[in-house]
Every structure is written in structure tokens, then in C-alpha cells.
Amino acid sequence: MKTIVILFAISFVAVLGHPELTDEDIAKHKEHHESCMNENGLNESTVVNKWKDDNDEKLNCYKTCLLKKSGTMNADGKIDVEVARANLEKKDIASEKIEEMINACKDVTGTGCEMGRDVFKCFMQFYPQE
């Protein structure tokens, strides 16, 4: 269960009640998750256990990989506001909060995989902690 919670948390999905999310959305997310783990030599337990370790380069690259695959980060390493908004709208998040999140996080910059880490960190501030 913990894995599922994390898996969903990282794609900005709260845990329960998401009628807007199709099976296809979920399947796509799982595929991104798996290929990003493979690319970075990570496994499920490392991702879960090290999620909050900001200094783990592999984890940071995994986070960056997820953002790229979902299109939230474009090829130039910038946040694609339209895609980010569309992804967030599929979750159960109030639209004012979405705008707040996007405004706060769209200009996050960083070198290499630190970018992904910082973008996630920024978005996660808007989620209640476990």
C-alpha cells in the first residue's frame, strides 16, 4: 500500500477518489514510473525509501525523468504550464490551488537532475504531509 501511496503522490495524485483519472492515465503513469526506475537503476523500495533524500542523484534523475515523460517538463528543461495544468486538472484539486501551484513552481530552475528534485519539492509543498 505504501508503494501505491507514494506512486500516486509523486504523480500529484491524491490517494482516493479520482474519477477523472482513466485506466489509461494510470497505466501511462506506471509505465513512466517503471522506465524511469530502469533508466536510473532504481527499484521500487529504493524509490519509496529515498523519496525524501534530496541528495540522491539517482532519485533526482528519476523525478526529472517522470516530469519529462509526463510532458510537465519540456525538452528545454522548462515547465510546460499548459501540460502541468492539464495534468493537475485530472486530479482532485481546486482550480485556484492549481493556479497557485503553477505560479509558485513554473519558474523553478536547476542544473541537470536538481531541476526535477526542486520542481517536485515545490509542488509537494501544496500537499499535506503524511
Ligand X SMILES: *[C@@H]1O[C@H](CO)[C@@H](O)[C@H](O)[C@H]1NC(C)=O
Binding site for ligand X (CB under 6 A): 43, 45-46
The least CB distance from residue 60 to ligand X, in Å, is: 16
Check if the beta carbon of residue 65 is closer than 8 Å to that of residue 40.
Answer: yes
Cα 28 to chain centroid distance, Å, stands at 13
Chain residue at closest Cβ approach to ligand X: 43
Taken as a whole, the chain contains a residue count of: 130
Please give the Cα distance from 87 to 75 (Å, whole number): 17
Nearest approach in angstroms of CB 43 to ligand X is 4
What phi, psi does 73 have (nearest 5°)?
-110, 130
Q: How far is the CB of 51 from ligand X (least distance, A)?
A: 14
Helix (H) or strand (E) holding 56: none
